[in-house]
Structure 1
């Protein structure tokens, strides 16, 4: 999850609260610290993002990945996110990084694992904190993915070109 409008930490907490309102179907298992990340992509003139990775246990008999992503999109809309330019400022951004070993490709709505997860330090650093032994379905470990990208970290701040 990420936010760079309003009070980003409060936005992340509120999004998590909205997820938890689904009751026993969704259980929070772990969450990372907050990480401050410089904006990525073409839109650099905006506030830094506050990012966090959460690990959830989701009842697979009730939820499919696309349905869960639809719920995340609805939470984003409820919190005021307007779909504009990719990479622009937003009160909340929620993505599914992985869904167990599930691989979904060539889908306009959802690709799993997230197609850019292994390229983004703001995903990999908190992911490693939450799940140090994480392995992507292709066999790449979180440590290997981090070794393959150029980034700099000082405390909870992450820079990446």
Structure 2
């Protein structure tokens, strides 16, 4: 599929934060996602706490948002990065602790592999902090080339993750 705007694409965005008031950052990010042009925030998963993977700092809070959008993948990525910057995101080194991290996980059935964006997200299928909230929203969803969210979640059962109360 080519990089272009297509109406009514179902999109999943991973949210994470482990610096400052992480819960407030996730709430604020969801509000910002709901205000994106040509985009509707359909729903969001519960927040979860997980240990950093290939990173340092305190535990992360994570969630997944389900959107419907007409934005093309790269346009959406740039808007997600702008939301991160507005929340104080810095990138001093790879996998640094974050005030906010927004990952474009899936953009409907679009597959991309460019220097700027890979879809589906190249490590989503390996991370409980992505799969558990994604399973809350769409357990039968297929990550192209990887399998269903529920099956993939079973394969990462050894990763510590805790669902937080609302």
Same fold (TM over 0.5): yes
Q: Gapped runs of 5+ residues in structure 1?
A: none
Mapping of residues 1-161 of structure 1, within 5 Å:
1-22=15-36, 25-41=38-54, 43-44=55-56, 46-59=57-70, 63-105=71-113, 107-138=114-145, 140-153=147-160, 155-156=162-163
In 2, the alpha carbon distance for the partners of 1:19 and 1:147 equals: 29
In 1, the alpha carbon distance for the partners of 2:25 and 2:90 equals: 15
Report 1 or 2 for greater relative contact order, CA contacts < 8 Å, sequence distance ≥ 6.
2
In 2, the alpha carbon distance for the partners of 1:55 and 1:38 equals: 23
Structure 1 match to 2:5? none
| Deviant stretches of 4+, over 6 Å | none
Determine which structure has the larger strand proportion and give its number: 2
In 1, the alpha carbon distance for the partners of 2:42 and 2:36 equals: 15
Deviation (angstroms), 1:150: 4.5
RMSD of aligned residue pairs (Cα, Å) = 1.6
Are the equivalent residues in 1 in contact too, given 2:33–2:41 (CA < 8 A)?
no
Number of equivalent positions: 150
Deviation (angstroms), 1:5: 1.1
Residue by residue over 1:104-126, the C-alpha shift from the partner in whole angstroms, topping out at 9 and shown as x without a partner, is 12x11100000000000000000
Q: Gapped runs of 5+ residues in structure 2?
A: 1-14
